Amino acid sequence: MTSRPRPTLEAVAALAGVGRGTVSRVINGSPKVSSEAREAVLRAIDELGYVPNRAARTLVTRRTDTVALFVSESEERVFGEPYFAGIIRGISTGLGDTGLQLLLVVAQSEDEHARFERYLTGQHVDGVLLISLHEGDPLPRHLEESGVPTVLGGAPTGVVPVACVDADNRGGSRTAVEHLIAVGRRRIGTITGPQDMGVGVDRLEGYRDALSAAGLTGPVAYGDFSEESGERGMRELLAREPRLDAVFAASDPMAFGAMRVLKQLGRRIPDDVALVGFDDSSTARHSDPPLTSVHQPLEAMGREMARLLVARIRGEEIEQPVVILDTHLVARESSLGGAKSGAH
């Protein structure tokens, strides 16, 4: 049995009634093609079962059809914390009909970081998405200088990104603390995130905004968004203010760590200490008690990151290269007791 010859670009052009260049432009996503010609080419591709030769296309277009998501964290955190899962789901959805493949790059050590930086700046990918960046990381600058389109998910301190997507971290944390004040709490501490990350700085500033407006002050413990740092932070806060009656933890995992310590010490939640997190992860709904938390639209953030990156890869003009998405508080029993929970 003889196999059918593989359809060629010329065969597609002949069936569609257009030139070879038009077929090439359609395949490469060029906007410089009429809708009629595009439809004719797509029908011909479908009818013939034409599959572009990726290697040849890469040589001609210098495109790899691959984008990388680079995360400067441990694999344990990337695959264990809901923040990363939500962002990755959104990015995958956003890239769904673009023909671009997603490569996940996780680098924790300096050696890994340097090795992957060489790979990413070596024309092996069409663009890069960066999340969980810390102050002093040269990767965003090096990628831009190498001509690699880049989009940041949140920005480290001291960096003015070319394109970035984030949540309203300052506003969200301010709302969380205002809620604690509204339910009668006055000795409110916080376990905040790393201060070399914009998200950590913004969530601490929102906490301070709310306390300052109410004429209050409170103790601050510094964590890294992990459960373990939430445990350490909770012990530190209680050592400094034994009469603490509320805690705003700047991530749900830190809130769960704090919750564990409070239970170990016999502190009732929320009767003795009210607790609010930030993420509104699925785990927040099922913790004991259910955790009040600030909802940030992780999947929408991922989709926006993908949208901006695709636009940059295609050379399109972007009207709003920095996108900040709204947050809102979802109140549950950890701060309300027997009161009915709901969104605020």
Cβ(282)–Cβ(326) below 8 Å: no
Q: pTM for this structure?
A: 0.77
Q: Which amino acid is at 305?
A: M
Compute how many other C-beta atoms are within 10 angstroms of the C-beta atom of residue 16.
22
Q: Looking at residue 210, what DSSP letter applies? A: H
Give the whole-angstrom CA distance, residue 51 versus residue 80.
Answer: 38
Mapping DSSP onto H, E and C, the string for 260-314 reads HHHHHCCCCCCCCCEEEEEECCHHHHHCCCCCEEEECCHHHHHHHHHHHHHHHHC
User: What is the rounded (10 degree) CA torsion for 251, 187, 326, 149?
Assistant: -50
Compute how many other C-beta atoms are within 10 angstroms of the C-beta atom of residue 323.
18
Please report where in the chains the tokens 């340097």 appear, as a residue.
114
Fold that domain 66-167+298-325 belongs to in CATH: Rossmann fold (3.40.50)
Supply φ then ψ for residue 41, to 5 degrees: -65, -45
Give the whole-angstrom CA distance, residue 307 versus residue 177.
Answer: 33
Fold that domain 169-296+328-343 belongs to in CATH: Rossmann fold (3.40.50)
Cβ(314)–Cβ(29) below 8 Å: yes
Query: Going residue by residue through the chain (344 aa), what tens digit of pLDDT does each one get?
Result: 445 567 787 888 899 999 888 887 787 666 778 888 888 988 888 888 776 654 444 444 456 788 999 988 878 888 888 888 899 999 999 998 888 899 998 887 788 878 888 888 777 889 999 998 888 788 888 888 888 899 999 877 777 778 999 999 999 999 999 999 999 999 999 999 999 889 999 999 999 999 999 999 999 999 999 999 999 999 999 999 999 999 999 999 999 999 999 999 999 999 999 999 999 998 999 999 999 999 999 999 999 999 999 999 888 888 999 999 999 999 999 999 633 334 44
| Cis bond upstream, residue 270 (ω within 30) | yes
Q: Is 90 helix (H, G, I), strand (E, B) or coil?
A: helix
**DSSP code string of 1-57:** -PPPPPP-HHHHHHHHTS-HHHHHHHHTT-S-S-HHHHHHHHHHHHHHT----HHHH
Give the whole-angstrom CA distance, residue 341 versus residue 344.
Answer: 9
Alpha carbon separation from 30 to 19, 35, 280, 303, 304 (Å, rounded): 15, 11, 40, 22, 21
- Any residues with CB less than 8 A from the CB of 279 and at least 6 apart, and which? 82, 83, 251, 252, 253, 293, 294, 295, 296, 298
Cβ(154)–Cβ(198) below 8 Å: yes
Is-same-fold flag (9-61; 169-296+328-343)?
A: no
Give the whole-angstrom CA distance, residue 181 versus residue 300.
Answer: 30
| Cis bond upstream, residue 31 (ω within 30) | no
Q: What is the pLDDT of residue 202?
A: 96
Domain coordinates of the chain in residue numbers?
9-61, 66-167+298-325, 169-296+328-343
> What's the pLDDT tens digit per position in 202-234?
999 999 999 999 999 999 999 999 999 999 999
* Strand ranges of the sheet holding 66-71, from the earlier edge strand across to the other edge: 101-106, 66-71, 127-131, 150-153, 164-167, 322-325
User: What is the rounded (10 degree) CA torsion for 43, 46, 48, 51?
Assistant: 120
Q: What is the CATH number of domain 9-61?
A: 1.10.260.40
